[in-house]
Amino acid sequence: MNIILLGPPGAGKGTQAAKLVAERDMIQLSTGDMLREARTSGTEMGQKVAAVMDRGELVTDEIVIGLIREKLEGDAKGGFIFDGFPRTLAQADALEALLDEMGMSLDAAIELRVRDEILVDRIVNRAKEAAAAGQPVRADDNEESLKIRLMEYYKKTSPLLGYYHAKQKLKRVDGLQEVPVVSASIAALLDA
């Protein structure tokens, strides 16, 4: 199965992706991880990524699609989880074209639905818990940064909900439930 996890920052996408990797042998394709990996790889694509990042610019969709293509050409195992991509309608179209070209398809776009005020509490508490445990706190784990990230999400990424709904791929899960309940809800969708 190939799926996309959608939802605002702090919705639990990373947590749920890790569970799917462990339980279903899926491969998580996190664009952030792929960019960091490519940057240090020494490959031609990696050198492109490093040059763009060193200039402080955003990596183009074309480069990200190239990185995804490289990953899709490997062992598919239990399928792929797209995490952090697509973020825009143009990226969604590019991903669909790539999957089609490779004889693959997207099975579902799963939205983890959460309310903003709960997200703010969740992120602020995550930062407090990390600090109390002596763990590093993400620089953007604070109320002000989260509000900026949420605005960015609603402007650019939320149109994907309509896009995947129109393609009859959108599935919704209540992301405010306990982690095992959210996992069970996702599993039920994938097994249906």
Instruction: From the candidates 24, 71, 126, 169, give the one annotated as an active-site residue.
Output: 126
Is 138 a known active-site residue? yes
Q: What phi, psi does 93 have (nearest 5°)?
A: -65, -45
Catalytic one of 77, 115, 138, 167: 138
CB 53 within 8 A of CB 64: no
What DSSP string describes 114-158?
--HHHHHHHHHHHHHHHHHTTPPPPTT-SHHHHHHHHHHIIIIIT
The strand order across the sheet containing 27-30 reads 27-30, 80-83, 3-6, 108-113, 170-174
113 is catalytic: no
115 an active-site residue? no
Which of 19, 39, 48, 87 does the annotation list as catalytic? 87
169 in catalytic set:
no
CA atoms of 106 and 80, how far apart (whole Å): 9
User: Which among 149, 156, 169, 172 is annotated as catalytic?
Assistant: 149
Positive or negative: CA dihedral 156, 157, 159, 164: positive
Residues for the chain: how many in total? 192
Active site residue 87: yes
Catalytic residues, which ones?
13, 87, 126, 138, 149
